[in-house]
């Protein structure tokens, strides 16, 4: 019985190209009490591997967080399987705004302590006492209210390429970093302002809204389904789009365009650009913003040092990496000192 991925990303990419079939990129989450996450994890892997599902799925005692790619022809089978699991029946599926058949190249189902690394002690507050969920139309009305404080619950490299007009965008590397910073900065508005939050697909706001209510915020709202569902509703209902730029996504696409606005800049030359890339030097892999001209000039690398390593024969590069842990720059997300125009 196969319980783990056996193909490399390159092998899977080749199979996808040979198949020539469309795939759908989907995300969903659900907070639920799961007694044995390992059993659920194995069940999901076996069933979804048979359907050629690829993606990154986290399972914990508190629920499931899934970002995945499924062949379009298998979507109904996949949906039927979800509905066969009691707590996932009719779960909302966020369908990607821009599709890419290679958004995911492996199926990874992992058991984690939490489905989102929030750093919170859930026993200290009522996680079910969440904020009011609002759709796109009400959200648009709320954020025009002068008594509203709009907060982006994502990380700095996400909001750098796209965010809602007039949103507070915390300069943080992780979700857990933002929670206390936002509470501190907005402490004087706990009773007189409406706290409205949003994130990519809604999951970060689920826990955050309950946390802020516990901390004394009286009027807490969250965007239902996040930026992804907001964009779908805006198009379906012909509403005004108040999001500027791109929505950062955690797969090979790295972003999907919501508006034509380009609000970020190339981290190497400073020209308008909102294309995230990873440094081509596999020992670095730094995530940063790079324009097409700099990509050509720098061989898709973040620095001259990495460019020199990337130019070596592959076997020599492997020797240089041998015995070394992952570069810490991987997690700096555009903050490396080698980037002249970093945010």
- Please list the active-site residues: 199
What tokens were used for 154?
């994502």
8 A C-beta contact, residue 301 and residue 143:
no
Q: How many helices (H) and strands (E) does the chain have?
A: 11, 14
The SS3 call for residue 152 is: strand
What tokens were used for 261?
């606005």
What tokens were used for 157?
């490299």
Provide the strand spans (E) within the chain. Answer: 23-31, 54-60, 63-71, 94-95, 107-111, 132-134, 148-152, 162-164, 194-198, 219-223, 243-248, 255-257, 276-278, 287-289
Backbone angles phi, psi at 168, to 5 degrees: -80, 125
Cα 199 from Cα 211, distance rounded (Å): 15
Residues 6+ positions from 339 with CB-CB distance below 8 Å? 267, 268, 288, 302
What tokens were used for 101?
């058949």
The kind and range of the H/E element at 308 are: helix 304-310
């Amino acid at each position: 019985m196969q319980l783990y991925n056996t193909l490399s990303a390159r092998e899977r990419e080749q199979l996808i190209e040979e198949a020539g079939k469309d795939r759908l990129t989907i995300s969903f989450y659900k907070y639920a009490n799961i007694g044995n996450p390992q059993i659920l994890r194995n069940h999901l892997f076996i069933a979804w591997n048979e359907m050629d599902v690829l993606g990154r799925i986290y399972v914990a005692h508190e629920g499931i967080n899934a970002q995945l790619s499924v062949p379009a022809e298998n979507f109904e089978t996949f949906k039927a399987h979800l509905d066969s699991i009691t707590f996932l029946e009719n779960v909302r599926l966020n369908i990607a705004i821009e599709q890419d058949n290679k958004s995911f190249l492996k199926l990874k189902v992992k058991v984690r302590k939490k489905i989102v690394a929030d750093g919170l002690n859930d026993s200290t507050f009522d996680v079910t006492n969440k904020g009011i969920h609002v759709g796109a139309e009400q959200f648009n009305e709320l954020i025009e209210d002068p008594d509203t404080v709009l907060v982006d619950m994502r990380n700095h490299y996400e909001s750098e390429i796209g965010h809602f007009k007039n949103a507070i965008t915390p300069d943080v590397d992780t979700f857990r970093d933002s929670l206390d910073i936002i509470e501190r900065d907005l402490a004087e508005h706990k009773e007189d302002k409406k706290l409205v939050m949003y994130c990519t697909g809604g999951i970060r706001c689920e826990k955050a809204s309950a946390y802020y209510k516990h901390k004394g915020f009286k009027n807490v709202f969250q965007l239902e389904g996040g930026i992804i569902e907001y964009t779908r509703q805006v198009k379906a209902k012909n509403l005004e789009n108040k999001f500027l730029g791109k929505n950062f996504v955690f797969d090979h696409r790295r972003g999907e365009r919501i508006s034509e606005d380009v609000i970020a800049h190339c981290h190497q030359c400073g020209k308008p650009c909102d294309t995230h890339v990873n440094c081509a030097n596999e020992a670095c892999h730094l995530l940063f913003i790079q324009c097409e001209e700099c990509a050509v000039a720098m061989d898709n690398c973040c620095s001259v040092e990495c460019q020199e390593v990337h130019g070596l024969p592959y076997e020599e590069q492997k020797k240089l990496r041998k015995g070394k842990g992952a570069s810490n720059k991987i997690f700096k997300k555009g903050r490396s000192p080698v980037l002249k125009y970093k945010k």
